[in-house]
C-alpha cells in the first residue's frame, strides 16, 4: 500500500524534542558530574518502576505521532495517486480492527449485545424490541450465553502466556547483559537481582514489566474480538480512544514546557542577572500575568482562535491539520500562562548565583555578559529547569482534561482524556449507568500521572544536592561487605 | 574516679553512595571533671562526627558500629532513644559552630531556653522566667529581663553564640561539647566568648570537650589536648607538655606550619605538610600519616603503630617512640620553642631582594596602586516606591598605596568593609567617590572597554575556594576563560594548553589535572587553581580576599609559601585582606587597620604590630589567641559589637567601645596623628597633625 507521510506541526515539534533529548543524553553520558544524579535516578526503585510504565506510554505516543495519508484505491490506476483526506498514524494502522469495528451505540465491556434496545425485524415478519447482537464484539460466538466466559478466559490466557514468554526473554537478556557488564556469572547476577540488592533496582523493573506485559498481552489478545472497555455513544471502541488520548496528554505535558522554557529561562535569568530596570520590568510583567486567572486568559484566546479558524477553513487541507493546530495553540497558550512560576524560581536562583565568587572572578577578567550568562549561569540553573519540567508535566496533563471539560480545550475531533470525560459526564446520569468511558479515561490518566509523579519525585530527590542516604536494603548489603573487608 | 566522659574504641561509619567512610575509627579518650579537653585536627578528620556520636545525633547515613561511650559510668550507646533524650540538653550540652543556624528564628530567646527548662526541670511560668534571666545574666547578655523576649535575629553574632551557650547551660550539664564555638566569630568577639566559657567552667566545674582546629584557641583554653588525624587520636598530652614538646611528627608539623613574624624574619618558608588529609573511605595499612611523614620508614607502611606512653600524661601513636624498634629512635625535639625541628629542613630565603620588578616605573613615586578617599555607599531602599532612605557607608574615604612587589595587609573585623574596599579598587563594585590610580591611570569612571583591556593587570583571589570555581567547568576551561576574554597569548606561538600546563605546574599541581572538575579537588588544591586562574592573565597586582581563612593550617602554609614565591619571582603587589594577625605578620610589609569603613591606623608591620597606637588596634592585637606557655597576657576587652555602618556613631567611630574615650571623641572624627613617615593613626590620644587637617578642610 502506498502512502504519503504527513508531518503535522506537533509531530515536527515532537521530533525536535526527541532529537534534543537524544543530544542531551549524549552530552550527559560524557560528563561525569552530569551523569551522577541520573545514576541516582537509576538507583531509585519507584523511579525506575515508574519509568518502565512511562516507557509504554511514550512508545504508544510516538507510534501515534508518525502520521501518513494512505493512497485511495481509485480503480483507474491513474498516473497520479490520490491520497485520502483522512490522516492516520502508525498506531491507527496497527489498531485498524479497533478503529474500524464500530458498533451503533453503547455497549458494555466484553458485551456481546448492545446496551440499548432496538427494534429488530424478525425473519418471519413482525418486530421485537430487544438487545441486538453486536456487529463485532463477540460476533464469532455461536451461543454467547454459554461460550462467552470460556472464550474470554482462553484468549486472555493465551495472550498472557505469550506475554510471559516475551517477559522471560527480556528478563534473561537484561540479566545476561548486566552479568556481562559486571563481569560476573549469570547465576550469581540472577540471585542478586532476585534478592533486590543490585544498584539499579532490576527486580522492581522486572516486576513492573511483568505486570504491564501480562495486562497488555491479555488486552491485545482480546481486543480484536471484543470491546474490552466497551463502546461509546457512537459505538467507537473506548480502548482505542484511551490509546489515542495518550499522545494528546503527553503532547500537552511536554510541548507546553517547550513553549514556556525560552520565556522562563531568558526572562528569569535576565531579571536576576541584570537587576535594575530589567528586573523591575520583568517582575512587573509576571506579577501582572500571574494575577489574571489563567482559565479566563486561555478561554479568551482559544475562543478567538476558534473563530479565526472557522472563518479561514482554506488554510487547512485536512481536519487533522486543523485539530492539530488547535492543539498546538493550546500548548502555546498554556505555556504563556505558566512560565511565571519557573521564571520566578530562576530569577531567585540567578540572584544567588550572580553573587557567587566565580561570577565575580569572570567579571574581573572582563568576560562579556552574554558569556557569563551562557557559560556560568545557565548550566548552573539547569537542574531547576529539569526538576520543574518534570514536576509540571502531570499538572499539565490534568489541566488539559479540565480545559476540555470546560469546553476550551482541544478540538472536539481530537481524542483526549478531556474530551472522553466530557462526553462521558452526561451518561453518568443515565439509568443504567454508562460507567466505562469515564472509568477508562480515569484509569489511563491515573496511571500516566502517577508514574510521571513518581518519576518526578525520583528525579527531584536525585538532584537534591544534600547528602544521599541509602535505602535500608542496600545498606544491609553494604554492611555485609564492610564486615567482609574489615 | 572522677572522669566524666570515657570513650573506648569508638567506631563510626557513614554509609555514603560509593563507599563507607570510617569517620571515627577506634577513638579513645577520657575527660575529667572540671577539665577542658581540646580535640584538635584538620577539617575532615572526624572531629564533628565524634561529637555527634557522643550525642547520638548522627546524620541518617551514620552509624556507630563499635566501642562504648560512658558518661559517668553509664554507657550511652546502650540507652534507648527515649532515655537518650533525657541526656541531651540535660547531662550533655552542645554548642555548634554556626549560631545563626542553631537557633530557631521564629521563637523568642526566652521560649527556646524555657523549652529546655520545662523539658528537664519541669519549670514553668514565673519560676522559669526567673531562671532564664539568671542564665542570660550569667552569659553576659545586658538587660536580660527585657531582651529575653526578642527574636534571635535581633541579636548580633557574638550575642547569638552567648545565647547558644546559655541554652546549653540551662540544663546544668556535666559535659559541654563545643564544636568550633568561635570559628564563625571575629577575634574580638572570640575573646569574649572564650573568656565566658572559662569563667563558667570555673563556677560550675563542668567538663568541656572543645573541638577546634585553632592551636591558639586550644592553647588558651585547654587543660589537655588530643590530636586527631584521619579518624583516630594520634597524640594526647597535657597542654604544657604538648606545646613545649609535641611528639608525633604530625603535631610537630602542625605547629611548624603556623605563620608568624619570627618565621618571616628568619626568612623561612613555612613548613607545610605535603599532600592532603587522606580520604577516610580508604583502608589503612600501617600508620595513617605515613604518606606525609618525613620520618617514615618501611615499618610505618606495614604496621599500624600502637600507643606509647612518654613522660607524664603524654601518649603518642608513632613507631619512633617504641623502644622495640630501637634502631630508629629519634628523641622528640624538646627545644622549648614550638616547631623548632622544622627549621632544620626549611630552606632559607632572601625575601627582600627580588630581582627586577621595579624597573618599569611609570609613576613618579613608584606606586602600583594608589587609592585616595575611596567611598562606596550602598543605598537603603524603603517603602513601596523604593525611596532611598539612607546609605550604608561600607567604605567611607580610605586612602592607601601599594608598591610593586610589596604586600599591604588590610585587617579588621568582619563587616568593616574590607572586601567591599578590595572589590571597589578593582572596579567590580562602582565606587561612590574617590580615585583609584593604577600605574598612573585613573580607573574610576573609565569606560567599560578601556577598563576591560586593563583587567588583566589586577586580579582577585577569593576566600572560599568552593564558591570561586564554577562546578560545571573543567579546570582547563576555567583557566582559559580569562585568557580568552582578555586575548592573552593569542600570538599562536605558544598554544594555550601549554600555558595552562605551565600555570598548573607553577602552583604545584600536575598538568593532567586540567581535565578534571573542581569537585575532585580539596580546598587547598582549589585555592591553587584559583591562583593559577588569576596568574593566567599576567597580573601585576592581586587582591587576596582572605585566601587562607577557609583552609587548614598545613594547607594555609602551602598557599602562603606559594604566594610569597610568586611575589619573589614575578614582583607581584598584593593587597592582602585578612583578619588573621599571624598571617599578616608573616606575609605583609605594611598594614592598614580598618574600622567601620575607615582606616584607623597604618604603618609598616613592625610599627603597627610592635607599637600599636590606636586603641582599636591594641584591642584587636590583644584578642588574638597565641601559643604561649605562660599565657598571662591581658586581653583588652571590647564591649559590644561593631556598630552598623548605616548609622555610624558621631565623632570617632570607635568611641562607644573605647576605654580611653574623651568628650572630644564624641564630637568630631579625629584627624591623622603622624608618628613616622609611614606610621599614622586617627585618635585624639595623640597630637593631631595640624598641617594635614588644615589641608583636609581646604580640600
Ligand atoms: N553526613 C555525612 N555523610 C557522609 N560523610 C560525612 C558526613 N559528614 C561528614 N562526613 C565525612 O566524615 C569525615 C569527618 O567529618 P567531620 O565533620 O567530623 O570533620 P571535622 O574534623 O569536624 O572537620 P571540620 O574542621 O571541617 O569541621 C569527613 O571525611 C567528611 O567528609
Ligand atoms: S609511625 Fe612512622 S609514619 Fe607514622 S608518624 Fe611515626 S614515623 Fe611517621
Ligand atoms: S579618638 Fe577617642 S574614642 Fe576614638 S579611639 Fe581615640 S581615644 Fe578612643
Ligand atoms: Mg567540624
Domain boundaries in chain A?
A: 238-468
Q: Is B488 on the interface with A (CB under 8 A)?
A: no
pLDDT of residue B691: 54
* Mean local confidence (pLDDT), B358-374: 70
Residue B300 has pLDDT above 50, yes or no: yes
- Only one residue has cell 577569593, namely B462
Specify the pairing of strand B573-578 against strand A67-70: unpaired
Conformational region of residue A332, where left means phi above 0, alpha means psi within -120 to 50, and beta covers everything else = alpha
Length of chain B: 699
User: Does the distance separating the beta carbons of B451 and A367 come in below 8 Å?
Assistant: no
Give dist(CA B504, CA B487) in Å, integer.
19
Give dist(CA B646, CA B596) in Å, integer.
10
Give dist(CA A321, CA A12) in Å, integer.
12
Q: Which three cell numbers stand for residue B163?
A: 545565647
pLDDT of residue A344: 92
Q: Is B616 in contact with B627 (CB distance < 8 Å)?
A: no
pLDDT of residue B45: 84
pLDDT of residue A173: 92
Q: Given pLDDT bands bounded at 50, 70 and 90, which one contains residue B581?
A: confident
User: Measured in angstroms, how far is the CA atom of residue A289 from the centroid of ligand 1?
Assistant: 46
Q: Where are the beta strands (DSSP E) in B488-563?
A: 541-545
**Other C-beta atoms within 10 Å of B483: how many?**
21
Residue B612 has pLDDT above 60, yes or no: yes
Residue A475 has pLDDT above 50, yes or no: no
List CB contacts (< 8 A) between B15 and chain A: 469-470, 475, 478-479
User: Does the distance separating the beta carbons of B451 and A357 come in below 8 Å?
Assistant: no
Give the model confidence (pLDDT) of B229-241 as tens digits: 988 999 999 998 8
Domains and CATH numbers, chain B: 3-107+170-222 (3.40.50.300), 243-328 (no CATH), 368-595 (3.40.50.300)
Q: Is B430 on the interface with A (CB under 8 A)?
A: no
Q: Any alpha helices (H) in B14-102, and if so which ranges?
A: 47-55, 81-87, 99-102
Burial of B40 (0-12, 13-18, 19+ CB in 10 A): buried
pLDDT of residue B375: 92
Of A357, A368, A468, the CB nearest to B468: A357
Q: Is B462 on the interface with A (CB under 8 A)?
A: yes
State the ipTM, two decimals: 0.72
User: Measured in angstroms, how far is the CA atom of residue B52 from the centroid of ligand 4?
Assistant: 10
User: Measured in angstroms, how far is the CA atom of residue B26 from the centroid of ligand 2?
Assistant: 18
Give the model confidence (pLDDT) of B235-274 as tens digits: 999 998 898 888 999 999 888 888 876 666 666 677 778 7
User: Does the distance separating the beta carbons of B456 and A469 come in below 8 Å?
Assistant: no
Burial of A284 (0-12, 13-18, 19+ CB in 10 A): exposed
Give dist(CA B438, CA B440) in Å, integer.
5
Conformational region of residue B597, where left means phi above 0, alpha means psi within -120 to 50, and beta covers everything else = left
Residue B574 has pLDDT above 90, yes or no: yes
Give the model confidence (pLDDT) of B476-498 as tens digits: 889 988 888 887 655 555 678 88
Return the higher-pLDDT residue of B493 and B130: B130
pLDDT of residue B613: 92
- Only one residue has cell 588530643, namely B226
Q: Is B472 on the interface with A (CB under 8 A)?
A: yes
- Only one residue has cell 559589637, namely B641
Q: Is A368 on the interface with B (CB under 8 A)?
A: yes
pLDDT of residue B575: 94
Q: Is A277 on the interface with B (CB under 8 A)?
A: no
Q: Is B475 in contact with B515 (CB distance < 8 Å)?
A: yes
Residue B377 has pLDDT above 70, yes or no: yes
Does residue A432 have a cis peptide bond before it, meaning omega lies within 30 degrees of 0? yes
Give dist(CA A426, CA A440) in Å, integer.
16
Q: Which residue on chain A is closest to B25 by alpha carbon? A: A486
Q: Given pLDDT bands bounded at 50, 70 and 90, which one contains residue B409?
A: very high
As a CATH number, domain A238-468 is 1.10.3720.10
DSSP string, B236-290: EEEHHHHHH---SHHHHHHHHT---HHHHHTTBPP-PPPS-PPPTTS---S-TTG
pLDDT of residue A474: 40
Q: Given pLDDT bands bounded at 50, 70 and 90, which one contains residue B352?
A: very low
Reported pTM: 0.75
* Mean local confidence (pLDDT), A233-239: 85
Strand order in the sheet with A3-6: A3-6, A67-70, A88-89
Return the higher-pLDDT residue of B313 and B542: B542
Give the model confidence (pLDDT) of A65-82 as tens digits: 988 888 776 655 555 667
| Chain mean position to CA A363 | 44
Long-range contacts made by residues A138-147, C-beta under 8 angstroms, separation at least 24?
A138/A110, A138/A111, A138/A112, A138/A225, A138/A226, A139/A112, A139/A225, A140/A225, A141/A112, A144/A112, A144/A113
* Mean local confidence (pLDDT), B518-522: 78
Query: Which residues share a beta bridge with B396?
Result: B375
Q: Given pLDDT bands bounded at 50, 70 and 90, which one contains residue B328?
A: very low
- What are the angstrom distances between the C-alpha of A443 and each of A11, A224, A395, A419, B4? 26, 21, 16, 15, 64
* Mean local confidence (pLDDT), B394-422: 89
Q: Which residue on chain B is closest to A380 by alpha carbon? A: B472
Given the CA of residue B61, which atom of ligand 1 is nearest to it? 3
User: Does the distance separating the beta carbons of A367 and B467 come in below 8 Å?
Assistant: no
pLDDT of residue A18: 92
Specify the pairing of strand B3-15 against strand B20-32: antiparallel
Long-range contacts made by residues A162-166, C-beta under 8 angstroms, separation at least 24?
A162/A217, A162/A221, A163/A213, A163/A214, A163/A216, A163/A217, A163/A218, A164/A210, A164/A213, A164/A214, A164/A217, A166/A213, A166/A217
User: Measured in angstroms, how far is the CA atom of residue B657 from the centroid of ligand 3?
Assistant: 9
Give the model confidence (pLDDT) of A322-372 as tens digits: 888 888 888 888 888 888 889 999 999 999 888 888 888 888 888 888 989
Specify the pairing of strand B315-316 against strand B232-238: antiparallel
- Only one residue has cell 557559560, namely A375
User: Does the distance separating the beta carbons of B460 and A365 come in below 8 Å?
Assistant: no
Residue B145 has pLDDT above 60, yes or no: yes
Q: Is B646 in contact with B655 (CB distance < 8 Å)?
A: no
Q: Which three cell numbers stand for residue B477?
A: 576551561
Residue B340 has pLDDT above 60, yes or no: no
Residue B399 has pLDDT above 70, yes or no: yes
Given the CA of residue B670, which atom of ligand 3 is nearest to it? 1
**Other C-beta atoms within 10 Å of B581: how many?**
24
Amino acid at each position: 500500500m502506498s502512502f504519503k507521510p504527513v508531518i503535522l506541526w506537533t509531530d515536527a515539534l515532537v521530533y525536535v524534542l526527541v532529537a534534543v533529548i537524544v543530544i542531551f543524553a549524549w552530552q550527559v553520558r560524557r560528563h561525569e558530574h552530569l551523569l551522577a544524579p541520573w545514576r541516582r535516578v537509576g538507583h531509585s526503585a519507584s523511579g525506575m518502576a515508574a519509568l518502565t510504565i512511562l516507557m509504554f506510554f511514550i512508545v504508544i505516543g510516538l507510534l501515534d505521532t508518525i502520521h501518513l495519508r494512505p493512497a485511495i484505491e481509485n480503480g483507474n490506476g491513474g498516473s497520479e495517486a490520490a491520497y485520502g483526506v483522512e490522516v492516520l498514524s502508525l498506531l491507527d494502522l496497527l489498531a485498524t480492527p479497533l478503529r474500524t469495528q464500530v458498533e451503533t451505540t453503547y455497549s458494555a465491556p466484553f458485551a456481546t449485545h448492545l446496551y440499548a434496545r432496538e427494534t429488530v425485524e424478525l425473519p418471519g415478519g413482525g418486530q421485537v424490541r430487544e438487545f441486538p447482537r453486536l456487529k463485532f464484539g463477540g460476533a464469532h460466538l455461536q451461543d454467547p450465553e454459554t461460550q462467552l466466559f470460556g472464550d474470554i478466559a482462553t484468549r486472555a490466557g493465551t495472550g498472557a502466556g505469550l506475554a510471559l514468554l516475551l517477559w522471560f526473554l527480556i528478563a534473561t537478556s537484561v540479566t545476561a547483559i548486566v552479568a556481562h557488564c559486571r563481569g560476573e556469572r549469570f547465576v550469581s547476577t540472577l540471585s542478586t537481582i532476585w534478592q533486590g540488592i543490585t544498584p539499579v533496582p532490576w527486580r522492581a523493573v522486572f516486576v513492573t514489566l511483568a505486570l504491564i506485559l501480562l495486562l497488555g498481552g491479555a488486552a491485545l489478545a482480546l481486543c480484536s474480538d471484543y470491546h474490552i472497555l466497551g463502546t461509546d455513544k457512537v459505538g467507537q471502541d473506548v480502548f482505542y480512544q484511551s490509546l489515542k488520548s495518550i499522545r494528546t496528554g503527553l503532547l500537552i505535558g511536554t510541548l507546553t514546557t517547550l513553549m514556556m522554557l525560552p520565556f522562563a529561562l531568558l526572562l528569569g535569568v535576565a531579571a536576576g542577572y541584570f537587576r535594575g530596570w530589567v528586573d523591575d520590568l520583568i517582575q512587573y510583567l509576571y506579577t501582572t500575568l500571574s494575577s489574571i486567572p489563567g482559565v479566563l486568559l486561555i478561554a479568551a484566546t482559544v475562543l478567538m482562535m476558534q473563530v479565526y479558524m472557522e472563518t479561514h477553513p482554506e488554510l487547512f487541507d485536512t481536519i487533522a491539520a486543523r485539530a492539530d493546530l488547535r492543539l498546538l495553540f493550546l500548548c502555546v497558550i498554556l505555556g504563556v500562562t505558566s512560565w511565571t512560576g519557573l521564571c520566578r524560581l530562576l530569577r531567585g536562583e540567578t540572584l544567588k548565583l550572580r553573587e557567587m565568587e566565580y561570577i565575580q572572578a569572570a567579571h574581573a577578567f572582563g568576560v562579556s555578559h552574554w558569556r557569563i550568562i551562557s557559560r556560568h549561569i545557565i548550566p548552573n540553573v539547569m537542574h531547576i529547569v529539569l526538576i520543574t519540567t518534570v514536576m509540571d508535566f502531570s499538572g499539565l496533563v490534568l489541566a488539559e482534561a479540565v480545559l476540555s471539560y470546560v469546553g476550551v480545550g482541544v478540538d472536539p475531533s481530537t481524542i483526549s482524556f478531556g474530551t472522553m470525560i466530557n462526553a462521558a459526564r452526561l451518561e453518568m446520569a443515565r439509568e443504567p449507568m454508562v460507567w466505562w468511558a469515564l472509568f477508562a479515561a480515569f484509569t489511563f490518566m491515573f496511571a500516566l500521572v502517577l508514574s510521571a509523579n513518581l518519576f518526578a519525585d525520583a528525579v527531584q530527590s536525585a538532584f537534591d544536592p544534600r547528602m544521599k542516604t541509602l535505602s535500608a536494603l542496600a545498606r544491609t548489603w553494604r554492611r555485609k561487605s564492610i564486615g567482609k573487608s574489615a | 574516679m572522677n572522669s566524666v566522659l570515657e570513650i573506648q574504641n569508638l567506631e563510626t561509619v557513614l554509609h555514603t553512595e560509593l563507599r563507607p567512610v570510617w569517620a571515627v575509627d577506634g577513638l579513645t579518650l577520657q575527660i575529667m571533671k572540671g577539665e577542658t579537653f581540646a580535640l584538635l585536627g584538620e577539617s575532615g578528620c572526624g572531629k564533628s562526627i565524634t561529637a555527634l556520636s557522643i550525642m547520638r545525633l548522627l546524620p541518617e547515613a551514620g552509624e556507630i558500629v563499635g566501642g562504648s561511650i560512658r558518661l559517668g559510668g553509664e554507657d550511652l550507646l546502650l540507652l534507648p532513644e527515649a532515655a537518650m533524650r533525657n541526656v541531651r540538653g540535660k547531662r550533655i550540652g552542645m554548642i555548634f559552630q554556626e549560631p545563626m543556624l542553631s537557633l530557631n528564628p521564629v521563637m523568642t530567646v526566652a521560649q527556646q531556653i524555657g523549652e529546655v527548662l520545662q523539658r528537664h526541670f519541669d519549670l514553668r511560668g514565673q519560676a522559669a522566667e526567673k531562671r532564664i534571666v539568671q542564665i542570660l545574666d550569667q552569659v553576659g547578655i545586658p538587660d536580660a529581663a527585657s531582651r529575653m523576649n526578642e527574636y534571635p535575629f535581633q541579636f548580633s553574632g557574638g550575642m547569638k553564640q552567648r545565647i547558644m551557650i546559655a541554652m546549653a547551660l540551662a540544663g546544668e550539664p556535666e559535659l559541654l561539647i563545643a564544636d568550633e564555638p568561635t570559628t564563625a566569630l571575629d577575634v574580638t568577639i572570640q575573646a569574649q566568648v572564650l573568656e565566658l566559657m572559662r569563667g563558667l567552667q570555673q563556677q560550675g566545674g563542668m567538663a568541656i570537650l572543645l573541638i577546634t582546629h585553632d592551636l591558639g584557641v586550644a592553647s588558651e583554653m585547654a587543660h589537655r589536648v588530643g590530636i586527631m588525624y584521619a579518624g583516630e587520636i594520634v597524640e594526647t598530652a597535657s597542654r604544657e607538655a604538648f606545646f613545649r614538646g609535641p611528639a608525633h611528627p604530625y603535631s610537630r608539623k602542625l605547629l611548624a606550619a603556623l605563620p608568624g613574624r619570627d618565621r618571616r624574619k628568619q626568612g623561612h618558608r613555612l613548613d607545610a605538610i605535603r599532600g592532603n588529609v587522606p580520604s577516610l573511605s580508604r583502608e589503612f595499612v600501617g600508620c595513617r600519616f605515613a604518606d606525609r611523614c618525613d620520618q617514615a620508614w618501611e615499618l610505618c607502611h606495614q604496621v599500624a603503630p600502637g600507643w606509647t606512653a612518654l613522660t607524664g600524661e603524654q601518649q603518642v601513636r608513632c613507631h619512633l617512640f617504641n623502644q622495640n624498634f630501637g634502631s630508629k629512635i629519634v628523641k622528640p625535639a624538646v627545644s622549648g620553642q614550638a616547631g623548632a625541628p622544622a627549621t632544620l629542613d626549611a630552606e632559607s630565603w632572601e625575601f627582600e631582594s627580588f630581582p627586577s620588578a621595579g624597573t618599569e616605573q611609570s609613576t613618579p613615586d613608584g606606586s602600583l596602586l594608589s587609592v585616595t578617599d575611596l567611598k562606596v555607599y550602598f543605598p537603603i531602599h524603603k517603602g513601596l516606591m523604593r525611596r532611598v532612605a539612607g546609605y550604608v557607608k561600607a567604605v567611607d574615604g580610605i586612602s592607601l598605596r601599594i608598591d610593586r612587589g610589596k604586600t599591604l595587609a588590610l585587617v579588621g573585623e568582619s563587616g568593616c568593609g574590607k572586601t567591599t574596599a578590595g572589590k571597589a579598587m578593582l572596579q567590580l563594585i562602582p565606587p561612590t567617590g574617590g580615585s583609584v590610580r593604577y600605574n598612573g591611570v585613573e580607573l574610576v569612571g573609565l569606560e567599560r572597554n578601556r577598563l576591560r583591556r586593563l583587567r588583566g593587570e589586577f586580579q582577585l583571589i577569593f576566600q572560599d575556594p568552593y564558591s570561586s570555581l564554577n562546578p560545571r567547568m573543567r579546570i582547563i576551561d576555567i583557566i582559559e576563560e580569562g585568557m580568552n576574554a582578555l586575548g592573552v597569548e593569542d600570538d599562536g606561538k605558544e598554544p594555550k594548553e601549554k600555558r595552562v600546563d605551565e600555570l598548573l605546574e607553577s602552583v604545584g599541581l600536575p598538568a593532567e589535572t586540567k581535565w578534571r572538575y573542581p569537585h575532585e579537588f580539596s580546598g587547598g588544591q582549589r585555592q591553587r587553581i584559583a591562583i593559577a586562574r588569576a596568574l593566567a592573565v599576567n597580573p601585576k597586582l592581586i587582591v587576596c580576599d582572605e585566601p587562607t581563612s577557609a583552609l587548614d593550617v598545613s594547607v594555609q602554609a602551602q598557599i602562603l609559601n606559594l604566594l610569597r614565591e610568586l611575589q619573589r619571582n614575578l614582583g607581584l603587589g598584593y593587597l592582602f585582606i585578612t583578619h588573621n594577625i599571624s598571617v599578616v605578620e608573616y606575609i605583609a610589609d605594611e598594614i592598614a587597620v580598618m574600622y567601620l569603613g575607615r582606616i584607623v591606623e597604618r604603618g609598616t608591620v613592625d610599627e603597627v604590630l610592635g607599637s600599636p597606637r590606636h586603641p582599636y588596634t591594641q584591642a584587636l592585637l590583644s584578642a588574638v589567641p597565641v601559643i604561649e606557655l605562660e599565657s598571662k597576657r591581658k586581653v583588652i576587652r571590647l564591649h559590644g559589637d561593631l556598630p552598623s555602618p548605616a548609622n555610624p556613631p558621631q565623632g570617632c567611630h570607635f568611641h562607644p567601645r573605647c576605654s580611653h574615650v574623651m568628650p572630644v571623641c564624641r564630637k568630631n572624627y579625629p584627624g591623622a596623628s603622624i608618628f613616622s613617615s609611614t606610621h599614622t593613626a586617627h585618635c585624639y590620644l595623640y597630637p593631631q597633625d595640624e598641617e594635614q587637617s588644615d589641608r583636609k578642610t581646604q580640600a
